[in-house]
């Protein structure tokens, strides 16, 4: 049996079928064999023979048998869930999906801000009752947004916020690097940024620094009319602190594409707030996600072949 060049694991990415990802890769790599695993047994067999494996997670127990494996292409931007050290020790390079989320997640954030400010939920409730009555709304023009995290998502978001006339404050680990925002601050200045912002948008990775970043003190620093949007990871926000802040009307509301815990239990108090919008980790769910992901992997496979080794790959983690 021919050893496959690329194996797509059975794991769905943002609810999208792995077969769709495989089709995108075949379009870009017609000269290679791209195989999508359909059963656990087939997945294990294919991994043992593949040069490149792509998916969300990789069980390091597979490493001993994966004699041909040179690259694991993670389909998520974050790789904190992977044992990258074990993969590196086995001589397997790891890449991530950094950059593919910029357009889709930044559009989600813009939609969330507009929906809150234009009070579309109230409009829908009025429509359900055939009720015609004007109500006050807000606008983005002239407002201030604190964007925590200036990676691909943060940069794409700032570009779109600028078009709406929004002043932006960027918060990042290395403020000396600058960024596209009107001001760039370090995490040691985050409370000042929160106090100035109409919108606090979390687009940072989950690290020791950012875990629980938005806690009681951070929420107390936010303005009473401030809106929190989390498209980062659920544990960046202290959920209990957020529930308390919402109950006490310390902030205007929140849009959460990620939660802690996740999935959010059906009896969790966050579901009950009228000023909270919750989506099931769905901000990155778009058919073009697989297009951008396939572009990265196709480029890296060609580089792998040209160099004869995993060097200088796009989005290489190890």
Q: Number of H helices and number of E strands within the chain?
A: 10, 12
Compute the 3-state secondary structure of the chain and give helix, strand, coil in percent, each to the nearest 5: 40, 15, 45
| Chain centroid offset of residue 184 CA | 21
Residues 52 and 70 sit within 8 Å (Cβ to Cβ): yes
Q: Look up 44 and say whether it is catalytic.
A: no
Reply yes or no on whether 262 is catalytic: yes
Which of 48, 70, 183, 262 does the annotation list as catalytic? 262
Interior/surface letters 3-38, b for 16+ CB within 10 angstroms, e for the rest = ebbbbbbbbebbebebebbbebbbebbeebebbbbe
* Active site annotation includes 281: yes
Q: Closest by alpha carbon to 219, among 254, 188, 186, 184?
A: 254
DSSP-assigned states of every residue in 37-79? --SHHHHHHHHHH-SEEEES---GGGGGG-TT--EEEESSS--
Which residue, 192, 158, 189, 160, is CA-closest to 172?
A: 189
Per the residue annotation, which of 32, 233, 252, 277 is the catalytic one?
A: 233
Assess contact for 236 and 212: CB atoms under 8 A: yes
Q: What are residue 7's phi and psi, to 5 degrees? A: -115, 130
- The alpha carbon of 190 is separated from its chain's Cα centroid by a whole number of angstroms, namely 21
- Residues with catalytic roles: 233, 262, 281
């Amino acid at each position: 049996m021919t050893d496959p060049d690329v194996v797509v694991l059975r794991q769905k990415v943002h609810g999208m079928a792995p077969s769709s990802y495989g089709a995108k890769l075949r379009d870009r790599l017609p000269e290679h064999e791209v195989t999508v695993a359909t059963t656990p047994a087939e997945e294990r067999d294919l991994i043992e023979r593949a040069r490149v494996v792509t998916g969300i997670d990789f069980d390091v127990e597979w490493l001993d048998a994966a004699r041909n494996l040179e690259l694991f292409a993670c389909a998520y931007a974050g790789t904190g869930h992977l044992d990258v050290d074990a993969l590196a020790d086995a001589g397997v390079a790891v890449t991530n999906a950094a950059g593919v989320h910029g357009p889709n997640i930044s559009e989600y954030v813009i939609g969330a801000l507009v929906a809150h400010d234009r009070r579309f939920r109230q409009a829908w409730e009025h429509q359900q009752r055939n009720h015609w009555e004007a109500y006050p709304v807000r606008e983005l023009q002239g407002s201030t947004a604190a964007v925590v995290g200036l990676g691909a998502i943060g940069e794409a978001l700032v570009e779109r916020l600028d078009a709406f006339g929004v002043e932006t404050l960027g918060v990042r680990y290395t403020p000396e690097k600058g960024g596209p925002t009107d001001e760039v601050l370090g995490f040691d200045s985050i409370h000042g940024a929160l106090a100035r912002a109409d919108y606090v948008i979390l687009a940072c990775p989950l690290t020791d620094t950012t875990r629980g970043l938005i806690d009681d003190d951070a929420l107390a620093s936010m303005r009473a009319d401030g809106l929190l949007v989390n498209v980062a990871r659920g544990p960046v926000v202290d959920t209990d602190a957020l529930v308390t802040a919402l109950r006490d009307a310390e902030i205007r509301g929140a849009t959460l594409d990620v939660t802690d815990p996740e999935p959010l239990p059906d009896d969790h108090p966050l579901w009950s707030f009228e000023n909270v919008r919750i989506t099931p980790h769905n901000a990155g769910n778009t058919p073009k996600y697989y297009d951008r992901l396939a572009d990265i992997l196709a480029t890296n496979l060609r580089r792998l072949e040209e160099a004869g080794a995993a060097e200088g790959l796009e989005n290489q983690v190890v």
